[in-house]
Chain A
């Protein structure tokens, strides 16, 4: 191409503009990464979210123990024979009695939603909008057909004594069962599946 030609090579300009804009866009996208990633949990927040030890030796049937794991309340409920009995009879009130939704580790995907029937371990955060439901173990204490369970006063969601959600309430799915493991009969490690 002769250099004394004044005409504009439009194709060449278009290519150069396109290439510059593309490189610029990639640069902007790359520059966004630290800003977005900076808002994720920091190293110390992740460390503080590590597993915790809980002693359950002093718990009697009906007792509730609340501990904090990852800034959320985690309940340990000691269930007696009566409480376990309701889990078999209340299934027609429930939306997901067989826990098909992925809200528990596989070892808790059973009617008791726990490793051992006598201890229920749940994240005490309503699956609707994050309130903390109250433990209402006594039958008929919330409504006439109430088998005992957890009631969220924020928006009226109900869960049974396995944390399974009722039909016709705003919460869509069962309460979450966190990963946990028994270190002995009296001690539970919450936050990991195995030691």
Chain B
């Protein structure tokens, strides 16, 4: 055995990699529940790639056959329903764990020096993941697939002078059509997954350069990642998979939030569904877009809401990291922020009414104030 290992390690740094990134990687000894979500997102990524490859074997990316090929997967392909539900629920699960992972980062100040670049790579991953899920959302070619992507692509028409040309270029046609579907399939299964894998690798390399933060935000005693955290993460993953498959088997559409009812009707370019909502993980930004009665401002503020997350490390001026160590102001601000984000998400999936617009506007203001006034309330008195 050691002969084989010697043969390999003189040709490839296998042992070195294992030691650097697992066996000897020093990890704070006090990582709590919130530190599960990074490894959960890796598990979901593996799930998406595996089920995605199998779905691509039976899915047809043309406007004539896409919808029926999904029905074919659901009814005729052995275990096709399971693969599709694992993939669709996996997409939502991805965003649940990513949002909690990001919240952990904000709560414990994990975006602060020296982890700014780690946070930025993570934010790029988040945006790329939004693109990946939006392109996947198109593929079943149902009513929501068609109209959600129509709205998303039309957002680019606000770009001055070349907006209309960019929209046609993205669509590859004068309207969203089978051409658009086919290229989004290519993005969804090749281009973006490659980018995601590259960014995940960068994210982990950056983490292992600076080391994990911890709930106190201060230097604590370190223990090796393996076996302490491999075992801890594994037990967490078992609980996660238990909950995940509970949804896959018993509530795969989750009442229209994970798979929307309107998407069980084939795409019809002449009829917009009366109630059109984006997937829940995009809903907060969609609420902001709807709340502003001006197209350019609406698109700018919705995009700005994501941009603000990128510059978070430079908005927070407190030298302290963890919420446990910091003033009551950040606790109040963070609570209001969570309420506004969840509130915006809820408004974005509901029908457009005057009350809805009013609350969307209030939450938009709170969301923006959380970031824009941050340099002041985090300033050391």
Contacts and interface: CB of A to CB of B under 8 A. Distances in A.
B231 interface: no
A152 B151 CA distance: 13
B147 A41 contact: no
A154 B174 CA distance: 21
Given A41-B179, A153-B272, A131 B147 contact: yes
Interface stretch (B94-102, B121-129, B195-203, B292-300): B292-300
B264 to A, nearest CB: 19
Interface stretch (B133-141, B164-172, B306-314): B164-172
Q: Most A CB atoms within 10 A — which of B270, B272, B289?
A: B272
> 10 tightest A-B contacts by CB?
A71-B175, A70-B174, A130-B154, A131-B272, A129-B151, A132-B272, A172-B295, A130-B150, A129-B154, A72-B175
A66 B269 CA distance: 12
Interface in B246-301: 269-272, 274-276, 289-290, 292-296, 298
B207 interface: no
Contacts of A39: 169-170, 172, 183
Contacts of B176: 71
Contact of A155 (B169, B274, B290): B290
Chain A at the B interface: SS class: loop
B20 to A, nearest CB: 35
Contact of B174 (A49, A127, A129, A130): A49
Interface residues of B, number: 34
A11 B381 CA distance: 55
B168 A40 contact: yes
A95 to B, nearest CB: 11
B159 to A, nearest CB: 13
Contact of A170 (B168, B177, B298): B298
Contacts of B290: 155, 170
A125 B320 CA distance: 52
Nearest to A71: B175
Given A41-B168, A42-B179, A66 B270 contact: yes
A1 to B, nearest CB: 46
A42 B172 contact: yes
Contacts of A19: none
A130 B289 CA distance: 14
A49 to B, nearest CB: 5
Given A132-B272, A170-B290, A170-B292, 6 more contacts: A40-B168, A68-B269, A72-B269, A73-B269, A128-B295, A129-B155
A49 B275 CA distance: 30
A41 B175 CA distance: 10
B150 A68 contact: no
B153 interface: yes
Interface in A37-60: 39-42, 45, 49
Q: Most B CB atoms within 10 A — which of A42, A129, A154, A155?
A: A129
Nearest to B179: A45
Interface of B: 147, 150-151, 153-155, 168-177, 179, 183, 269-272, 274-276, 289-290, 292-296, 298, 352
A168 interface: yes
Contacts of B177: 45, 71
A71 B172 contact: no
A68 B169 CA distance: 20
A169 B294 CA distance: 7
A28 B150 CA distance: 32
A155 B155 contact: no
Nearest to A128: B295
Nearest to A167: B293
Contacts of B271: 132
Contacts of B269: 68, 71-73
Contacts of A45: 172-174, 177, 179
A130 B174 CA distance: 12
A49 B175 CA distance: 10
B174 to A, nearest CB: 4
B178 to A, nearest CB: 10
Given A39-B183, A170-B290, A71 B352 contact: no
B170 A153 contact: no
A130 B151 CA distance: 6
A146 to B, nearest CB: 16
B295 A171 contact: yes
A153 B274 contact: yes
Contacts of B270: 66, 68, 73, 124, 132
A68 B173 CA distance: 14
A152 B169 CA distance: 26
A61 interface: no
B33 to A, nearest CB: 40
Interface in A58-96: 66, 68, 70-73
Given A72-B175, A130-B154, A154 B170 contact: no
A156 interface: yes
A168 B354 CA distance: 13
Q: Most B CB atoms within 10 A — which of A72, A124, A130?
A: A130
A129 B176 CA distance: 13
22 contacts: A39-B169, A40-B172, A45-B174, A45-B177, A45-B179, A71-B174, A127-B295, A129-B150, A129-B295, A130-B150, A130-B154, A131-B151, A131-B276, A132-B272, A153-B275, A153-B276, A154-B151, A154-B272, A155-B290, A170-B292, A170-B293, A170-B295
